[in-house]
């Protein structure tokens, strides 16, 4: 057990000797492009909420390296049980941007049929399990899935995320305890971004770190610089490989910072010191990785423009397509309840359809309450 903060890139983007994972140039540029696109997606999502075009948004600004570096260590066949601040993984797994944005609007193109809050995605084709608002529930789900995979002999690893606040949930204890006892192939990633809404990490725990909590559960715990994408990748790759070998789970604490407010319903300026924010702003993970790419002659102004403008254009096209879609049909609320609808539900559905046809209900369906 080590409390040392593992890092590879210094603030000038230079890799420490012997620590660079030496990823291929095309993969390094791909990761940078994904980081830029993730931030552009976040910027547009918040703008749409402020314009009143969607009801809610939650950003991952400043945490792009943390979740992209972690998920990049997985195979496409591995599963993710996310929290709600890892949108870059959807882009990494090639989920169409239009599908992502349709979820914000909760329209007919939304895979969740408008039943979830915005940014609470679920994409089966990407092995990306539904995000839920209750804190920590995904940890026990990932542990259970990992236990099942081990029993079946599947060559699958499960990665799950939570914030520093999630370590105070009962599911944190339950998930880590079961996973360790049954040697489930799970990587638990705690994105310690300093704040659980307005509660600072210092009031969240008296432990020296989040990673040290792993010792009590009988698994390795690692602290890594969450703004260093190469360090996050390297640590998580080792944890993923360990899990795949049947050696059980690992707890990874990525030390990062939430640059934005908790959500579009929050104002971090009311409880967060401006000096703290400015200090972390200088440690921007995108800027740091950009400097690294510059040193390897993999970044140019033309490449930057391609990344930025390409992301903005793709997002704009997706927004246009999403806004053109209608709301989900009202009677879709009866779908997916049972494999076969009961006679009572069939009767209720027909009654609802009749009311809609008469104009008695339906005009305000689809409006998000926040």
CATH number of the structural domain spanning residue 72: 3.40.50.970
pLDDT at res. 91: 98
With vertex at residue 196, the alpha carbon angle to CA 190 and CA 202, rounded to the nearest 5 degrees, is 85
Phi, psi of 133 (to 5 degrees): -70, -35
For residue 194, the Cα-to-chain-centroid distance in whole angstroms is: 17
Whole-angstrom Cα Rg for the chain: 21
Helical segments of the chain, H only: 25-50, 64-71, 88-92, 97-105, 137-152, 170-181, 214-217, 229-244, 274-281, 285-295, 301-323, 343-357
| Same domain as 163, residue 268 | yes
Distances (CA, A) of 180 to 140, 214, 303: 12, 9, 44
Indicate the residue among 287, 304, 323 that finishes a domain: 323
Based on the structure, what is the number of domains in the chain?
Answer: 2
Residue from 251, 255, 233 nearest 243 by CA: 251
Q: Do 271 and 198 meet the contact criterion of CB atoms below 8 Å apart?
A: yes
367 has a pLDDT exceeding 60: no
Q: Please give the residue range of the domain that contains residue 359.
A: 329-370
Average pLDDT over residues 285-289: 98
Q: Report how far residue 204's alpha carbon sits from residue 166's, in angstroms, rounded to the nearest whole number.
A: 9
Q: What is the pLDDT of residues 31-63, one digit of tens each?
A: 999 999 999 999 999 999 999 999 999 999 999
pLDDT at res. 370: 47
Indicate the residue among 293, 308, 323 that finishes a domain: 323
| Same domain as 355, residue 319 | no
80 has a pLDDT exceeding 90: yes
100 has a pLDDT exceeding 60: yes
| Same domain as 311, residue 355 | no
Q: Which long-range contacts (CB under 8 A, 24 or more apart) does 22-25 make?
A: 23/230, 23/233, 25/296, 25/298
| Same domain as 265, residue 144 | yes
pLDDT at res. 358: 86
| Same domain as 126, residue 88 | yes
Average pLDDT over residues 84-112: 97
Q: Do 254 and 248 meet the contact criterion of CB atoms below 8 Å apart?
A: no
Residue from 49, 95, 23, 120 nearest 264 by CA: 49
pLDDT band at 307 (very low <50, low <70, confident <90, very high): very high
| Same domain as 159, residue 242 | yes
Q: Taking the model in full, what pTM does it have? A: 0.94
Computed over every residue of the chain, the mean pLDDT equals 95
With vertex at residue 254, the alpha carbon angle to CA 289 and CA 214, rounded to the nearest 5 degrees, is 155
DSSP code of 38? H
Average pLDDT over residues 188-217: 96
| Same domain as 304, residue 362 | no
| Same domain as 175, residue 41 | yes
Which residues participate in catalysis according to the annotation? 258, 262, 271
Distances (CA, A) of 47 to 56, 154, 281, 358: 10, 43, 20, 37
Q: Report how far residue 277's alpha carbon sits from residue 281's, in angstroms, rounded to the nearest whole number.
A: 6
With vertex at residue 139, the alpha carbon angle to CA 37 and CA 160, rounded to the nearest 5 degrees, is 30
Phi, psi of 308 (to 5 degrees): -70, -55
Strand partners for 80? 128, 159
Q: Report how far residue 172's alpha carbon sits from residue 142's, in angstroms, rounded to the nearest whole number.
A: 11
Reading the block at residue 48, the tokens are: 């749409």
| Same domain as 363, residue 309 | no
Spell out the residues 6+ positions from residue 56 whose beta carbon is closer than 8 angstroms to its own: 49, 117, 118, 119, 263, 264, 265, 368, 370
Q: Report how far residue 34's alpha carbon sits from residue 90's, in angstroms, rounded to the nearest whole number.
A: 10
Q: Report how far residue 228's alpha carbon sits from residue 286's, in angstroms, rounded to the nearest whole number.
A: 9
| Same domain as 130, residue 267 | yes
| Same domain as 316, residue 333 | no
Indicate the residue among 323, 343, 361 that finishes a domain: 323
DSSP code of 168? G
| Same domain as 233, residue 367 | no
pLDDT at res. 26: 98
């Amino acid at each position: 057990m080590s409390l040392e903060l593992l890092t590879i890139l210094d603030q000038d983007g230079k890799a420490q000797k012997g620590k660079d994972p030496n990823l291929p140039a095309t993969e390094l540029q791909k990761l940078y492009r994904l980081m830029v696109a993730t931030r552009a997606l976040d910027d547009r999502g918040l703008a749409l909420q402020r314009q009143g075009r969607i009801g809610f948004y939650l950003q991952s600004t400043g945490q792009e390296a943390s979740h992209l570096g972690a998920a990049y260590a997985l195979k496409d066949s591995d599963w993710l049980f996310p929290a709600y601040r890892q949108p870059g993984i959807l882009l990494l797994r090639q989920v169409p941007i239009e599908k992502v944005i349709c979820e914000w609007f909760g329209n007919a193109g939304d895979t969740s049929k408008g039943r979830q809050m915005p940014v609470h995605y679920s994409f089966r084709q990407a092995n990306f399990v539904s995000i839920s608002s209750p804190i920590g529930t995904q940890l026990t789900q990932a542990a259970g899935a990992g236990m099942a995979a081990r029993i079946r002999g599947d060559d699958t690893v499960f990665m799950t995320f939570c914030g520093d606040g999630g370590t105070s949930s009962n599911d944190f204890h339950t998930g880590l305890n079961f996973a360790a006892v049954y040697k489930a192939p799970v990587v638990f990633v705690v994105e310690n971004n300093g704040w659980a809404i307005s509660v600072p990490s210092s009031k969240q725990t008296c432990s020296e770190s989040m990673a040290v909590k792993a010792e009590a559960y009988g698994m390795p715990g690692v602290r890594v610089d969450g703004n260093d994408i190469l360090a996050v990748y390297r640590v998580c790759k080792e944890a993923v490989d360990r899990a795949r070998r049947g050696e059980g789970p690992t707890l990874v604490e990525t030390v990062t910072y939430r640059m934005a407010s908790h959500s579009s319903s929050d104002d971090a300026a009311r409880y967060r010191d401006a000096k703290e924010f400015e200090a972390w702003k200088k440690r921007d993970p995108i800027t740091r990785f950009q400097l690294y790419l510059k040193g390897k002659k993999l970044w140019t102004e033309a490449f930057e423009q391609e990344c930025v403008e390409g992301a903005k254009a793709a997002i704009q096209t997706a927004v246009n397509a999403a806004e053109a879609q209608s709301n989900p049909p009202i009677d879709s609320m009866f779908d997916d309840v049972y494999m076969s609808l009961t006679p009572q539900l069939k009767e209720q559905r027909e009654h609802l359809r009749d009311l809609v046809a008469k104009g008695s209900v339906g005009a305000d369906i689809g409006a998000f309450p926040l």
